[in-house]
Amino acid sequence: DTEVTQTPKHLVMGMTNKKSLKCEQHMGHRAMYWYKQKAKKPPELMFVYSYEKLSINESVPSRFSPECPNSSLLNLHLHALQPEDSALYLCASSQDQDRVVGELFFGEGSRLTVL
């Protein structure tokens, strides 16, 4: 079982809805990540939080808004999404963003469908 927990596992939303994806880890990791994965493609980095501060934003549209309330939690707020945003959203964590050896632990993902 993964030690990174994501909720919900599945989400269907309309283009005018506002929803949130949630991620939690209790491994004491200080870096947390959001990735987007389309079918048959590798994970694409969206955001990185290091010590609860946003350190990387990969030019993600503003309809995706990340939030890191504390070192264990990471949210992704969704608003006015497009059908092409439908994908598997993966949360991950690592001990530290900058360690040479830094295993990335992934959650099971939240599968998002935008109608």
Distance separating alpha carbons of residues 43 and 26, to the nearest angstrom: 23
Element (H, E) at 73: strand 73-79
Q: Which is nearer to another protein, 9 or 18 (CB)?
A: 9
- From the CB of residue 70, how many other CB atoms can be counted at a distance below 10 Å? 8
- Which residues is 36 bridged to in the sheet? 44, 89
Q: Is 80:21 a contact under the CB 8 Å cutoff?
A: no
For the CB of residue 82, give the shortest distance to another protein in the complex, in Å.
24
Interface residues with another protein (CB under 8 A) are 2, 4, 40-43, 45, 48, 50, 55-56, 90, 92, 97-98, 100-109
Q: Which is nearer to another protein, 40 or 83 (CB)?
A: 40
For the CB of residue 114, give the shortest distance to another protein in the complex, in Å.
20
For the CB of residue 16, give the shortest distance to another protein in the complex, in Å.
29
